[in-house]
Amino acid sequence: MGNLRTRGVWCGAGFLGRSRADVRERVSRLVDLGFNLILPNLKDGLGRACWRSEVIPEASHEAYQDFDLPLVLMEECERVGMRVHAWFIDFFEGENGAAFRTHPEWAMRDPHGRTTADETLRGKRFGCVWMCPAQRPGYADQWLIPLYQEFAKRYPVEAVHHDYVRYPGDLAPDQYCFCDSCLEEIPRWAVYASETYRNERFEHELYDRPYLEAHWEPSPRVLPEGWQKWSRAERARFLLEGGFFAGGRRDLDYFFYTFRVEAILRFVRECAEAVRSVASTMKISGAFFKNPIHSGRFIGQDWRRFPPHVDICAPMDYRDHFPGTFEQYLALLRETIGLQKRWAAGFEQLWIGFAINFLFKEEPNGPYPDSKVRDVVRTIEESQPDGIVVFCAEQIEEYGMGEALRRSFRDSS
C-alpha cells in the first residue's frame, strides 16, 4: 500500500473487550479499515499491567486475572495478519497505583519534596505521579524493566513500545527531579567536587585568561560552602540556577538537563538489554515528541540518541503539538517530517503518528469534516515515511473517521 507499509493504530486495553469474541471482533474491525498493526496499551496510565504478572503481582490489573488479554490478542491478530506492538506508559503512574503506594520514595520530587500529584494543571489538582528515571535502585530497574522483561519473555509480539519515556512536560518542566537520590547523584555525576579532596576549592593558579570560564579544566569545586547543610529547595535552586564559577555565568542548568537526558537514555538502554536477553528478535518502538532537540531540553527526551536501543521511531505529530490553523498544521507537518527523517536516521524505521481529536479544533461540537483526516494522511504519505500510526481506535469511532481512513489507505495503494 504505497509508502505507508505500516498502518498502525493505538488503542486502550478496554477497547479490546473482555473475551475472545470481543477481541476478534475489534481486531477484525481494524483490519477492515486497512490497519496492519495494533498498539494496545498494556501498561496503563494508572500503573496497571494488563496481564497476570508474576514478577510484580501487585501491578496486575484486576480485570485481567482470569483473561489473558495479550495472549488472546496475539492469537487473534496472527489469524488475520495483524502485527502487535505492546504499548507501555513508562514513567507516568497513578497516585493509587501499586508502584507509588509501595514505593513513594521512587517518585519524582520538586524542590519542595512534592510529587507531581500536587501540581495544578488547568485549574485542577494533577493527581498522577511521575516516577524518577534516574534513581537506582528505583522504579526503572526494580519495577518497569522487570515488567518489560516478563512481558517480552511470555508474549512473543513483534515489539514493545515506549511512551512517556521522559520527564513531565506540561507540568513545570524545570522542577523535576530533585528527589533525595537526584540531589546526591547530580553533583556526583557532574563531579562538582573531588571524591578524594572533598573540600579543596582547587582554584586556578593564575586566572590569566580573558574569561572566567576559560579556567574550567582543572575541575574546580563547584559546590558552594555549606552545601551539606542546605535544604532541598536551596540545593535544587543551585543545581538549576547556579554557576560553575561563583560569580560567573549561571550555567549549571546545562548539567541538569544533560543529566536528565542521560537518565532516560540509560533506561532505554537497560530496557533493551533486558528485553533482548529473553527475546532476541523482538523489536522496540516508541512514541516521542516531535523535535528531539527541544524535547531534550524540556523533558529529557533526545530521541536521536535512542538507537540501537529503540528500533522504530514514531513521533507524535499531533495537531496540538503545532501552532496555527489547519492549513498551517499541514505545512508544518510536512516541514517537520522532513526534519524527522534526518533526526531519525539511526532508526530502522520512521512512522508518523497523528491524533484524530485535535484535528477538529475548529469544530468542537461537530460535524467533523473527514476531509481533514484525508488531508493529513495524504500529507504524511507524500513525505514518504515508513509508516503511519493513528491515535486512537476509540477516537476513530467517536469522530466517525473509519471510512475516511479506509479510503485514504486504499487510495495510497
Stretch that binds Zn ion, among 182-190, 297-305, 340-348, 384-392 (CB under 5 A): 182-190
Give how many residues touch Zn ion by CB under 5 A: 4
Phi, psi of 175 (to 5 degrees): -100, 0
Looking at residues 128 to 147 of the shown chain, list those that interact with Zn ion (rule: CB under 5 A).
Answer: 132
**263 touches Zn ion (CB under 5 A):** no
Looking at residues 368 to 407 of the shown chain, list those that interact with Zn ion (rule: CB under 5 A).
Answer: none
Least distance from Zn ion to the Cβ atom of residue 286, Å: 21
Q: Considering the complex, state which of residue 263 and residue 352 has its C-beta at the smaller distance from Zn ion.
A: 263
Least distance from Zn ion to the Cβ atom of residue 292, Å: 22
Least distance from Zn ion to the Cβ atom of residue 263, Å: 8
Q: Contacting Zn ion (CB under 5 A), which of 38, 182, 396, 401? A: 182
Q: Considering the complex, state which of residue 91 and residue 244 has its C-beta at the smaller distance from Zn ion.
A: 91
Stretch that binds Zn ion, among 72-80, 175-183, 241-249, 326-334 (CB under 5 A): 175-183
Residue 105: count other Cβ atoms within 10 Å of its Cβ. Answer: 14
Q: Considering the complex, state which of residue 136 and residue 341 has its C-beta at the smaller distance from Zn ion.
A: 136
Which is nearest to 20 in space by CA: 61, 66, 52, 57?
A: 66
Looking at residues 34 to 73 of the shown chain, list those that interact with Zn ion (rule: CB under 5 A).
Answer: none
Q: Considering the complex, state which of residue 107 and residue 350 has its C-beta at the smaller distance from Zn ion.
A: 107
Q: Considering the complex, state which of residue 147 and residue 177 has its C-beta at the smaller distance from Zn ion.
A: 177
Measure Cα distances from 369 to 359, 376, 401, 407, 409 in Å: 9, 12, 9, 14, 17
Stretch that binds Zn ion, among 172-180, 205-213, 215-223, 386-394 (CB under 5 A): 172-180
Least distance from Zn ion to the Cβ atom of residue 60, Å: 26
Least distance from Zn ion to the Cβ atom of residue 124, Å: 25
Least distance from Zn ion to the Cβ atom of residue 336, Å: 31
Which is nearest to 55 in space by CA: 129, 146, 179?
A: 146
**193 touches Zn ion (CB under 5 A):** no
Q: Considering the complex, state which of residue 179 and residue 190 has its C-beta at the smaller distance from Zn ion.
A: 179
Contact 14, 42 (CB under 8 A): no
Least distance from Zn ion to the Cβ atom of residue 133, Å: 8
Q: Considering the complex, state which of residue 100 and residue 322 has its C-beta at the smaller distance from Zn ion.
A: 100
Stretch that binds Zn ion, among 49-57, 91-99, 124-132, 376-384 (CB under 5 A): 124-132
Least distance from Zn ion to the Cβ atom of residue 129, Å: 12
Stretch that binds Zn ion, among 25-33, 127-135, 156-164, 204-212 (CB under 5 A): 127-135
Q: Considering the complex, state which of residue 59 and residue 177 has its C-beta at the smaller distance from Zn ion.
A: 177
Q: Considering the complex, state which of residue 132 and residue 268 has its C-beta at the smaller distance from Zn ion.
A: 132
Q: Considering the complex, state which of residue 223 and residue 236 has its C-beta at the smaller distance from Zn ion.
A: 236
| Chain Cα centroid distance, residue 192 | 29
Least distance from Zn ion to the Cβ atom of residue 144, Å: 14
**179 touches Zn ion (CB under 5 A):** yes
Least distance from Zn ion to the Cβ atom of residue 126, Å: 18
**177 touches Zn ion (CB under 5 A):** yes
Phi, psi of 237 (to 5 degrees): -65, -40
Contact 10, 87 (CB under 8 A): yes
Sequence-distant (6+) residues with CB within 8 A of 4 are: 377, 380, 381, 385, 387, 388, 409, 412
Residues that bind Zn ion (CB under 5 A): 132, 177, 179, 182
